[in-house]
Amino acid sequence: MNFQVFRTTFKDYPVFSKKEIEKLFPTFDAKNLVNWQKKNYVQKIRNEWYRLNEYSLDTLTLYFISNQLYNPSYVSLETALSHYGFIPEGVFRITAITTLKTQFFDTSIGFLAIKT
């Protein structure tokens, strides 16, 4: 597959999974993702999740990615308090809340804490 076609298709996706790729491109070869990672076109975030490297990671994009990696979840606790300026401390991980099992992910974009 041509990377330009892939890029055009996923340019509006802050993060995408292998399943989403296979839905849009049923004959997609996963080896392309490995090659594109080596060329620094695509970044693997965690397991089946990827992002295009050419787009910057702002705070809201990181929050969206955390929600996609572990769904259902929502950004909360010290992350939300810091984002809205209610606490002066720096927060260096994204904390989200879920009704499912507590998980901690050390990903290529940062540390995510998903708590119940």
**Phi, psi values for residue 83, rounded to 5°:** -60, -40
pTM across the whole model: 0.87
Is the domain of 69 the same as that of 25? no
Residue 92: burial class (beta carbons within 10 Å; 0-12, 13-18, 19+): exposed
Instruction: Using pLDDT thresholds of 50, 70 and 90, give the confidence band for residue 13.
Output: very high
H-helix or E-strand containing 16?
strand 16-17
Last residue of a domain, one of 52, 72, 92: 52
69 shares a domain with 110: yes
pLDDT, one tens digit per residue, over 67-106 is: 999 999 999 999 999 999 999 988 999 999 999 999 999 9
What is the domain range of residue 31? 3-52
Question: How many domains does the chain divide into?
Answer: 2
67 plus 90 within the same structural domain = yes
- Statement to judge: residues 68 and 93 lie in one domain: yes
For residue 35, name the pLDDT band (cuts at 50, 70, 90): very high
Query: Beta 110-115 vs 94-97: how paired, if at all?
Result: parallel
Tell me the C-alpha distance between 115 and 56, whole Å.
27
